[in-house]
Structure 1
């Protein structure tokens, strides 16, 4: 993303849960903008436009805010979503500068099918990387096509885009390819568990 999507922001005058509820009812998301030694600024963002930006760019979206005519680049550092109703409750925004590098967590995406008779286990859902603010990858792909049982993919094995550096411990296990259990092994394990339960009783 070489250019950041535009988002109009209003200064939030009222604070508190009641004010936040009223704002959300009016189609606005409460937000806090901070960073670079500035005092936190309380804002309101249009909920539909914000949701569309997050869908298109992922949770590490960089936006260009228009705050009363003042332009400011910001990274969506934390997005709080209602667990049941699935609307955005609140957003934390971090001030960034063009060319500045930031540390973010990027999701791991598994593609392909491992060798026959195996199970693919995802041990890490994301890794932390350092990337230029306007070039944060939406995800990092791990291709498991035809990988044999016993294969371990660590963070060091990830193929990162140019300019992106790994922050997570390189030895962190990301994906494991294990041999699938046979029907006989599964039956045997169940029998062992039942025997253990009977002995415990």
Structure 2
């Protein structure tokens, strides 16, 4: 899991107008919460949080400096603008290195080019894995080898072996990926007419 650090300022004002003022100043409003701490309202530098998410995604362990006190946190939720996709609000969860957390990590399929052909394509059905582990053991992603994938035998959670540091919370029968027959797409309508003429054994124009 990537590690990074950033500074956060405590804020006292709440509500839409207050959040607008925070964003207009180049910051993002957010909250920090945890099992053993009171929820705190904060604001963080927009460019800093944008850079961290762009470089490392949301699975990053952060040392968050708040009012001279460092807290270890993870990004629990990002709220984005529906059109611009700019970050509008961020939730941080304070964590302890000796307490397990629940989180999700992206699934990356390796070997797709070895099983796909003009007649079959890989359907990536489960894109995130729900796991429980210590914060320092959260991986950036889960890479799965699918070179053994075959038609009518989808890859399920139960088929895979994961690190002993992780507890997978997904159902064992959930399908991660499957190999399905590729359907031919006719892009040119005239091509479809030619094919039908061949099937009918005639060159008669179809009206």
Using the size of structure 2 for normalisation, the TM-score is 0.80
Residue from 125, 135, 147 that aligns with 1:145: 147
- CA drift of 1:110 comes to 2.1
- CA drift of 1:18 comes to 0.9
- CA drift of 1:83 comes to 1.8
Indicate yes or no: 2:41 matched with 1:42.
Answer: yes
Between the aligned partners of 1:72 and 1:121, the Cα distance in structure 2 is 41
User: For residue 20 of structure 2, what is the aligned residue in structure 1?
Assistant: 21
- CA drift of 1:59 comes to 1.6
Indicate yes or no: 2:179 matched with 1:177.
Answer: yes
Task: Compute the RMSD of aligned alpha carbons.
Answer: 2.2
Unmatched 5+ residue regions in structure 1?
192-201
Between the aligned partners of 1:43 and 1:68, the Cα distance in structure 2 is 10
User: Do the aligned partners of residues 141 and 159 (structure 1) sit closer, same or farther apart at CA in structure 2, a change above 3 Å counting?
Assistant: farther
Superposed CA offset, 1:62-118 (max 9, x none)? 211101110101111101111211211001111101233211111122232224321
User: Do the aligned partners of residues 37 and 17 (structure 1) sit closer, same or farther apart at CA in structure 2, a change above 3 Å counting?
Assistant: same
User: Do the aligned partners of residues 159 and 28 (structure 1) sit closer, same or farther apart at CA in structure 2, a change above 3 Å counting?
Assistant: farther
User: For residue 100 of structure 1, what is the aligned residue in structure 2?
Assistant: 99
| Other structure's SS at 1:104 match | strand
Question: Residues 150 and 179 of structure 1 are in contact (CA less than 8 Å); yes or no, is this contact kept in structure 2?
Answer: no
Residue from 120, 129, 154 that aligns with 2:122: 120
The structure with the larger Rg is 2
| Other structure's SS at 2:38 match | strand
| Other structure's SS at 2:78 match | strand
Once superposed, which parts of structure 1, at least 4 consecutive aligned residues long, lie more than 6 Å away? none
- CA drift of 1:183 comes to 7.3
User: For residue 80 of structure 2, what is the aligned residue in structure 1?
Assistant: 81
User: Do the aligned partners of residues 178 and 72 (structure 1) sit closer, same or farther apart at CA in structure 2, a change above 3 Å counting?
Assistant: same
Between the aligned partners of 2:42 and 2:9, the Cα distance in structure 1 is 6
